[in-house]
Amino acid sequence: MIVSLFVDHCLFFHPDQQDFIDDKLAACTVGSLIRQIRAECFLEFVEYLISAEDRHQILDDLVKYLRNGKYELMHSTKHMPGRTLGRLEPTPSLKQKNAA
């Protein structure tokens, strides 16, 4: 949770976010900024790959890296795996409110 809040805070200083804030407009969502950053990184990689002399070796290395499990999927704790939801029946005060 702390890392997530730290990332949110850092993205507050992203140049595009600062432009919105300086213009007194609504800030962007963290998710949309992250998607934009990913797209920019991908485009930079494609430009680098196109201009590289050894582009076939770079692609081969990337494929080996990704296929050897270096890019692992993480388990989400947000979706409460293995946890019970607790009591799902209404509280006495809610029952009384609905009866009225």
Residue with tokens 């890296």: 65
CA distance 10 to 25: 19
Count CA atoms within 13 Å of residue 7 on its CB side: 10
- pLDDT surpasses 80 at 40: yes
- Mean pLDDT of the region 29-53: 94
> Looking at residue 100, what is its pLDDT?
66
> Looking at residue 7, what is its pLDDT?
82
Taking only the tens place, the pLDDT of each residue in 46-93 is: 999 999 999 999 999 989 988 887 767 777 777 666 777 777 777 888
pTM (global) more than 0.85: no
- pLDDT surpasses 80 at 35: yes
